[in-house]
Amino acid sequence: MSVLVNKNSNIIVQGFTGKEGSFHAEQMIEYGTNVVGGVTPGKGGQEHLGKPVFNSVSEAVQKVQADTSIIFVPPKFAPDAIMEAAEAGISVIICITEGIAVQDMVKVKAYIEDKNVTLIGPNCPGVITPGEAKVGIMPGFVFKQGRIGVVSKSGTLTYEAADQIVKAGLGISTAIGIGGDPIVGTPTKEAVQLLMEDPDTDGIVMIGEIGGNYEALASEYIKSTGNKKPVVGFIAGQTAPAGRTMGHAGAIIGGKDDTAAAKMEIMASCGIHVVNSPADIGKTMAKVLGK
């Protein structure tokens, strides 16, 4: 079992024939991901990378039973692409696009609220269930199959965590890069909950960063479960100057509880095994699992 994506997911690529969409779709197909086609308005009926191209998401749902979409569309058009996928009945939408305006994401969140859809991103690396489906831009070779879930606001640290987990003799069930924008479709708590409820995930790595309250809310949820699965946590931005945006649009310290130190303290108080360096993630998880 996995969460969000697996070998049976019918995946389409929105922005399929563009430069970014083509490059990453090819990587996904080579990995073995079940890409069933793509969407580029005006190019329907063509074939690209050996897969059919459709004019709309609804056409892809009708003709190839698409249920998952990954979006490589410029920021100006990405909100409409998300809403089109949701309207067409896609159940998992993964938006890689960076630079979507906050006010546009507010509208998107409101639009999909009553739809049966899970949005990952925007500004994220995607989701991978090793050996089954790579729906994103992550380097697939880093991820090996196993029973540790990863939730991260940072793409690079997602890969680093996976590498440390593998080096510790463990592997990954599903890794979810939620994105680093102020507004994302699936915040840390909801992503952690998916893995907490997954019977094939034994432990969880939660990677956050300065700014916002995602990690605090997730920590309180983890505590409320009675810490039924061990969670190893790391917060990026420990040396960031106060009030500065560091890397991600969402990583700005707005108050005393937004600092790395405050978040790490909250996490530790909720029973999370907090590490000071990503280099300690794997060995800490192995230790708490008794491996």
248 catalytically annotated: yes
Percent residues over pLDDT 90 in the chain? 88
Measured between alpha carbons, how far is 176 from 196 in angstroms, rounded to an integer?
13
Question: What integer is the mean pLDDT of 210-219?
Answer: 92
Measured between alpha carbons, how far is 73 from 175 in angstroms, rounded to an integer?
23
Q: Match 């510790």 to its residue by tokens.
A: 168
- Over residues 249-286, the pLDDT tens digits come to 555 555 556 788 999 999 999 999 999 999 999 999 99
Is 138-288 CATH 1.10.15.40?
no
Statement: residue 87 has pLDDT above 80 = yes
Please, which pLDDT band fits residue 237 given cuts at 50, 70 and 90?
confident
Same fold, 11-120 and 138-288: yes
Helix (H) or strand (E) holding 120: strand 118-120
The predicted structure's pLDDT at residue 152: 97
The predicted structure's pLDDT at residue 280: 97
Among 24, 48, 248, 273, the active-site one is 248
The sign of the torsion formed by the CA atoms of 166, 170, 171, 177 equals negative
The predicted structure's pLDDT at residue 2: 77
Contact 48, 74 (CB under 8 A): no
Q: Delimit the domains of the chain by residue range.
A: 11-120, 138-288
User: What is the bridge-based pairing of β-strands 118-120 and 126-129?
Assistant: unpaired
Paired tokens of 242: 């106060």
Is 11-120 CATH 3.30.450.40?
no
- Over residues 92-143, the pLDDT tens digits come to 999 999 999 999 999 999 999 999 999 999 999 999 999 999 999 999 999 9
Q: What is the 3-state secondary structure (H, E, C) of 36-96?
A: EEEECCCCCCCEECCEEEECCHHHHHHHHCCCEEEECCCCCCHHHHHHHHHHHCCCEEEEC
